[in-house]
Each structure stands twice: as structure tokens, then as C-alpha cells.
Amino acid sequence: MILREMLEDDHPGTQEDPIYCPPHSTECDGDIQEYTNHFISWLTFEQLNHHHYKDHEQVLHYLKGLHYKFEPAIQYVNTLLDTWAQEGISPKCNICALPHTIKKFLSSSTRNGQQSAVIRTMQDKPSPLLMTLHSNVSRTIY
């Protein structure tokens, strides 16, 4: 009994492994690049512990950890994931590309502090009807 207690104190095989949860962007003060670095570190830790996630699962975990202020970008990335017809995920949704994709989306969808409407069509190919409507609206506005 005494030998077992001594081994529990010193031998690393008798100690429980710590459990690490995925990071949250609030821990990084909203800095998406820092959050991405923490997330990649967490993914590396998980891979070293033989917990392998598919690309789609990685993106979903990443999005789950983002603050609610990123909600429009989260919806945009979910749309990209859902509409990607090829095998795998969209290159814009790669973990290393996600911060750039999110920043670009948020900067393009925000004007004077207000969210602007964004019209998307299948496979980013505008229909002739939308092009006609767009040209008529732009003539009317300007």
C-alpha cells in the first residue's frame, strides 16, 4: 500500500491526463488571429492524443468558439460549407484561411456600422434576372 502511494506521486503513468477544451474567442479579447492560433494549438494537442477531426468537424468546432458578434460571418461560412459541391470543404473554409475569410466578409458587409444585404446565387454565378435588376436599381439610385 505504501509503495503504491509512492508510485502514484512520482510515476506519470498513474496520473490522469488533463482535459483541454477548445478555446473561445472571448479568451483572446476578440482577436480572431490569436483565437486561430489557440485553436490550431488545441487541434495539434488533440491529434497528438489520437483524436483526429475531419476538416468539416474542425471548421464547426472553430465556429462554435467564436463570439456572437461574428454571427453574420458564421452564417456565411456555414453557407459556404453547405453549398460546396465538391469533396471536402471550400478552400475559403480551411482553418488557416478562415480568419481572412471572416475579416473580409465582415469588412465587405459593414457600411457605416450597419449590416448591408448580400445577395448570393448558386455557385456565385448571377442569373440574368438579377443582373437586370441590379443594373436597374443602380441606375435609379445614382
d(C-alpha 52, C-alpha 67), whole Å: 25
Look at residue 119 in the predicted model and tell me its pLDDT: 36
Mean pLDDT in each 10-residue stretch from start to end of the chain (142 residues)?
A: 68 69 88 92 92 92 93 93 85 91 85 45 44 43 40
Would you say the C-alpha torsion 129, 119, 108, 83 has a positive or negative sign? negative
d(C-alpha 139, C-alpha 134), whole Å: 9
Look at residue 14 in the predicted model and tell me its pLDDT: 66
Helix (H) or strand (E) holding 114: strand 114-115
Look at residue 88 in the predicted model and tell me its pLDDT: 82
- CB atoms under 10 Å from CB of 76, counted, come to 20
What is the identity of the amino acid at 87?
E
Look at residue 79 in the predicted model and tell me its pLDDT: 93
Look at residue 8 in the predicted model and tell me its pLDDT: 67
d(C-alpha 22, C-alpha 101), whole Å: 21
Domain boundary assignment for the chain: 25-133
C-alpha cell of residue 14: 498513474
Q: What is the dihedral of CA 24, 34, 62, 45, to 10 degrees?
A: -90
